[in-house]
Copies of this chain bind each other. A is one copy, B any other.
Amino acid sequence: MPCQAYYLGPEGELQRDLNKEEIKTAFESKQGLLWVDILETTEEDGAFLEQIFGFHHLAVEDCVSQALHPPKIDDFDDYLFIVFHGINHVVESEIVETAELAVILGSHFVVSNHNFPLHSVEAIKQMVEKDGRPMRRGADFLAHALVDALVDNVLPTVDQMSDIADEIEEEVIRNPQQATLEAILKLKRSTLRIHRVMAPQRELLNRLSRGEFTLIREEARMFYRDVYDHLVRIEDLNQTVRDRADNALNTYLSSVANRQNETMKVLSMVATIFLPLTLLAGIYGMNFENMPELKWSWGYFAVLGLMGTAILTVIWRFWANRWITWGRRKVTWIRPFAVHPEKLVWHVSQLARPSRRKSQQ
């Protein structure tokens, strides 16, 4: 049983690493604050919880089960069974995965369960080891500390996703590839994953903070409200990452279409230049007996000159019609969009400054 228990007695003395007997005694004293943290809850742990704490069979089953449970609060009158999700930093997947923390909150005890080691729980444990501070204000504040650390832990992940979005945005302009598309789609799925887990948690924190449960005292509610605000911020950032992924997808698809367009233009240009000239050469390769030009001594050079002139004319025409930019093709092909869009950009950046006339407020 990889389980750790702390007990803060009514006189403020902290006991560490309680064994089962001590846990039982501490629980039955109905005083102070008992915190039991269980990693990878086994059947045996489940039986222990059911026996000593008298938890409902279904709550214990959820703790023992390896399956993922969506966030929820079950109110068993004497205690709350809360399931929350944070980022699972252990599973190495290209999509962000979430890990679950089950907290059973009573008036003088907190039991926490998780199947993966969680940074947030470790951090709280260290603070408790040091001076017992997170436990000194009561069970609801300890539960708040756990949930708060879990939620704050999501923020660096969203920040990293934002960094990836930066990279993708650059990549999608510079060198769009199928790998870029996959990165975009993975980023989008990560944002969806986070959204799907965070949105219901917001609702749960709303319920915890508005006084629906008497186990959460009034002075603690504002702190749950604060976690709620953090969640709103995370969702907002996450949403922004999703918008950027959507835009990157649009840009990617448009780049692919543009590239195809460029390929087509090369083809058209080659055909437009060489097919007519090949016909010309073919004409003078005919074997008619009576072809006066063939006898002209300067005929051959005239034809060569005509061909050269034709090629130059066509290229010049293409160059002249700016909308094809055949001439600058080699430049525009590689980086066809970097050509002075300053005017538009200037306008967009103007947004950030209030116009002098209109915004005299």
Contact = CB atoms under 8 A, between A and B. Distances in A.
Interface of A: 56, 58, 62, 67-70, 72, 74, 76, 87-97, 119-120, 123, 149, 152-153, 155-157, 159-161, 163-164, 167-168, 171, 175, 177-183, 185-190, 192-193, 196, 222-223, 225-226, 229, 232-233, 236, 239-240, 243-244, 247, 249-261, 263-268, 270-272, 274-279, 281-291, 293-300, 303-304, 307, 321, 323, 334, 336-337, 339, 341, 344-345, 347-355, 358-361
Number of copies: 5
Contacts of A69: 229, 233
A88 B173 CA distance: 27
A257 B254 contact: no
B258 A256 contact: yes
Contact of A348 (B94, B223, B270): B94
Contact of A271 (B232, B267, B358, B360): B267
Given A267-B267, A290-B297, A344-B180, A156 B359 contact: yes
A17 to B, nearest CB: 22
Q: Tell me whether chain A's interface is mostly helix, strand or loop, or mixed.
A: helix
Given A233-B67, A274-B276, A285-B281, A334 B321 contact: yes
A55 to B, nearest CB: 12
A264 B260 contact: yes
A186 B255 CA distance: 16
A279 B355 CA distance: 61
A72 B249 CA distance: 33
A161 B351 CA distance: 7
Nearest to A89: B354
A225 to B, nearest CB: 7
A353 to B, nearest CB: 6
Contacts of A355: 156, 159-160
Contact of A351 (B190, B266, B304, B361): B190
Contact of A94 (B282, B289, B294, B349): B349
B232 A70 contact: yes
A193 B243 CA distance: 10
A334 B304 CA distance: 32
A288 B279 contact: no
Nearest to A274: B275
B287 A152 contact: no
Contacts of A185: 247, 250-251
